[in-house]
Amino acid sequence: MARKILAAGNWKMNKTASEAASFIKELAESVKGAKNEVLICVPFTNLETAVKLTEGTNISVGAENMDYHDSGAYTGEVSADMLLDLGVKYVVIGHSERREYYNETDKTVNAKVLKAIEKGITPVLCCGESLEQREDNITFEWVRMQIKIALKGLSAEDVKKVVIAYEPIWAIGTGKTATNEQADEVCADIRACLREVYGDDVADNTRILYGGSVNAGNAAELFAMNDIDGGLVGGASLKVADFTTIANA
């Protein structure tokens, strides 16, 4: 399999710059022999610290969001060029918390994905259904719609540069987890959608992560599934021992 497992930590709104510095120094030593690709997506205030302290290590750094404008009167926003100037390589786009709390839509997610690809930053594109949507048996239709709109305007070659993260909203921070089979089933359908729209090469080479309460105890079994290529990890990425286990899963 050409797709390398990616262990991506999403810190959310956690850790000051000084806390991040201590954590990253410890993490870099702990994961230096990790068999998976390691990524930490940190708050804007920690990006400069994270990039500096991960130089020469096997850890990549990502942002948790970005604006789709290049510059202008957008108070509080951060552009792709600002991220690039710091040395940021990845950016999380369309996380369910951004959609729910900050009114992000499929169209704004698409604009951000297009901008990230244009600027050479790897987008970690999030998608997923609510508990109500799962119970209404529209999971596949809903997720396919999100994917198709988010990738609109990208060429097949560009789509191969995108990392997709399936995150069932009902399994984020709730203590509930999808079974391995449930997670893999949706990831497999996302891959099938890519195959139908963009062809075999894109489907076979695009990494699809699972992002629903991945932890040290379930990562190995999840990552062993046919269509899961790693995890977008929340709370467990804030603990060096747990994230190290996941980086080696």
In DSSP notation, the chain reads: --PPPEEEEE--S---HHHHHHHHHHHHHHTTT-SSEEEEEE-GGGHHHHHHHTTTSSEEEEES---SSSSSS-TT---HHHHHHHT--EEEES-HHHHHHS---HHHHHHHHHHHHHHTPEEEEEE---HHHHHTT-HHHHHHHHHHHHTTT--HHHHTT-EEEE--GGGSSSS----HHHHHHHHHHHHHHHHHHH-HHHHHH--EEE-SS--TTTHHHHHTSTT--EEEESGGGGSHHHHHHHHT-
pLDDT at 212: 84
pLDDT given for residue 241 in this prediction: 98
Does residue 173 carry a pLDDT above 70?
Answer: no
Correct CATH for 6-247 of 3.20.20.70, 3.40.50.10130, 3.90.226.10, 3.50.50.60: 3.20.20.70
- Residues 28-38 pLDDT 10s: 999 999 999 99
- Mean pLDDT confidence for 54-61: 98
pLDDT at position 170 is: 85
Q: Annotated active-site positions, please?
A: 95, 167
> Distance (Å, rounded) from C-alpha 186 to C-alpha 53?
36
Residues 6+ apart with CB under 8 A from 139: 129, 133, 186
Report the predicted TM-score, pTM, of the whole model to 2 decimal places: 0.96
The domain spans of the chain are: 6-247
CA-CA distance, 30 to 245, in Å (whole number)?
A: 10
For the cut 80, the answer to whether the pLDDT of residue 63 exceeds it is: yes
pLDDT at 1 over 60: no
Q: What is the mean pLDDT of the chain?
A: 96
pLDDT confidence band for 104 (50 / 70 / 90): very high
For the cut 60, the answer to whether the pLDDT of residue 113 exceeds it is yes
The answer to whether 215 and 197 have CB atoms below 8 angstroms apart is no
For the segment 176-204, the average pLDDT, to the nearest whole number, is 94
What does the pLDDT average to over 200-215? 95
Write down the pLDDT at residue 175.
67
Read off the pLDDT of residues 211-242 as tens digits, 9 standing for 90 and up. 988 999 999 999 999 999 999 999 999 999 99
Q: Classify the C-alpha dihedral 22-25-29-35 as positive or negative.
A: positive
CA–CA gap between residue 183 and residue 178 (Å, rounded): 6
Note the residue count of the chain. 249
